[in-house]
Structure 1
């Protein structure tokens, strides 16, 4: 925890060159003795500025509005500073300015979140899981484009209505049944939970959304049924290959993604097994 950190905010004006009776309003932020100025892009009457009080004189509508702007700016700057401290960042005047102007949040969109998840999890999650996330990504992009008419959306703009809208969009797809819809919603919830864990959003809009899966009775092939598939002769070579892969997966218990990931490196012990088997047979003779 930083106990020696110093932070202060002040406001001041500069005369306009063209109009000496008017002034531009600025704020100065100082962190550990180093200062930086930010223009509030406001012009005020120079004679109404009270420098010791850091506000405009009087009770006119103009003074009240400008003083409200000053108070809001001060609050936002303190919030920017407090967030940097909370995140254990190295706090500088430039860092506070960037956070205040929200320029460090310009990429915090849904598509950016998806890209971040893909980059971080591509080597952690299995191929099949990442493939499912890619499909969810495709549906999210379609939802943005077809329903909301936008290519992307800021994370802070995603609310519960967006969540329900995405569910309705998925249910309208002819090839998706309830459990398929729920799996995509589950992945969307995980993405938003990641954004929450990263402090990219203050409130997770998908928390209230409940997943409801239909109970499905698993159907298993009997041994005669599996033998029938195994012994079937197909004229189409592709069907024969697919059959062999399916039967191999049945006998080994490997998932489709694991079978797909198999390569020669995984089969390098087969010649050794065959050699030991041959040697054992010769010994018996």
Structure 2
């Protein structure tokens, strides 16, 4: 039962410890500011004789009335003692935790040394630091990518900005996190930080994950954001058509822009992300079962090795840089350096080639999925594997159904169903008649 906003006490038989006589020990589960501790009452009862609505024994169901009254009185006395002790501790302006209340009730002295972070009320930023430290360890072990760690570092910054701006605080206890906060946080991101809604939703999703961690660790009883759902609007995916790809391929460019253009085209014909291209070395190239060059890489996201046969343009680009001094010195297949410089120069390449949208590694991957693969009949399952996706639904987002793909598929259908003069083929017509 809830005593006040901070304290609740629940009495129940511990059914997992039923003895040979069918009796179970009764425990008092005390919760202070979301943190639970349990106290044994050193008395047992048959669970069938327990009334959970009153959190006490149902005397009408107990044959041994003396034993029934003993249990009943023990529960009542324990409740009164716990409530009185809690009030006494709070009057002394002491920070009351579930561990402290339990220890005082049992007559124990709780030394300062024992007051660890688990017995004191946890805060939002402490939980954030806990999550971040776990991620750091996973990145060092090679189980998570550095980009994931970077995203959580940004999340830390955004959460602290929200607390500072909205509440004028550096941190808040987990018990003060309210169901209204995700809506307030979204408003802060959209209005004051000018963040797009999809990006803001990712920060909210991460914050909700922190609160779920707090529940699992027993730092709070329930997630105050449990009813909040992050919603995303699928952005328009810019994809180069075949004509634009050829234009970029044939464009005469100066040295630095030529290097960037070549790296971008390599991504368009392999589907590799920037960090994957940056990590390519000579050891990753091998001769495949078809006698042609393949590349073998380890996907961090899927944790598996992926092999990809090189299309002629991709192979041509590798040949172009096999004697490049930077590539030789750094054991790289391509002259990929700074990501920021790459994006800046890529914008120039797009402008010079009259591309109406900004070029990026994402555009390259989308182009590989749609223009290079999907529109040329490659099954989406194969595309998904080549892109290193864990889930085919992710690939379906990339693989938009373009007009070119519709035209291609309908053209194949027309050839299959109709003759050149527009008549249904005799074979198909005969099969329809038979089926009828």
- Matched with 2:244 is 225
Does residue 194 of the first structure (1) align with residue 208 of the second (2)? no
**Unmatched 5+ stretches in structure 2:** 1-15, 19-26, 28-38, 40-80, 90-94, 293-436
Aligned residues: 210
Superposed, which structure 2 residues align to 1:95-134 within 5 Å?
104-106=118-120, 108-122=122-136, 123=138, 124-134=143-153
The 1:161–1:243 alpha-carbon spacing in structure 2 relative to 1, beyond 3 Å, is same
Normalization by structure 2: what TM-score?
0.39
- Matched with 1:243 is 261
The 1:102–1:253 alpha-carbon spacing in structure 2 relative to 1, beyond 3 Å, is same
Tell me, yes or no, if the aligned pair for 1:98 and 1:104 is still in contact at 8 Å.
no
Normalization by structure 1: what TM-score?
0.56
Superposed, which structure 2 residues align to 1:9-48 within 5 Å?
none
One of 198, 202, 222 as aligned partner of 1:183: 202
One of 253, 264, 267 as aligned partner of 2:271: 253
Distance 2:146 2:283 in 1: 22
Shift of 1:240: 4.2
Shift of 1:169: 0.9
Shift of 1:212: 2.0
The 1:270–1:205 alpha-carbon spacing in structure 2 relative to 1, beyond 3 Å, is same
Superposed, which structure 2 residues align to 1:33-112 within 5 Å?
69-70=84-85, 72=87, 79-80=98-99, 93=108, 104-106=118-120, 108-112=122-126
Distance 1:83 1:189 in 2: 30
Tell me, yes or no, if the aligned pair for 2:123 and 2:174 is still in contact at 8 Å.
yes
Shift of 1:168: 1.0
**What is the SS of the residue equivalent to 1:268?**
helix
Distance 1:234 1:178 in 2: 37
Tell me, yes or no, if the aligned pair for 1:155 and 1:201 is still in contact at 8 Å.
yes
Distance 1:133 1:67 in 2: 41
One of 168, 190, 196 as aligned partner of 1:149: 168
The 1:187–1:246 alpha-carbon spacing in structure 2 relative to 1, beyond 3 Å, is farther
Distance 1:241 1:209 in 2: 46
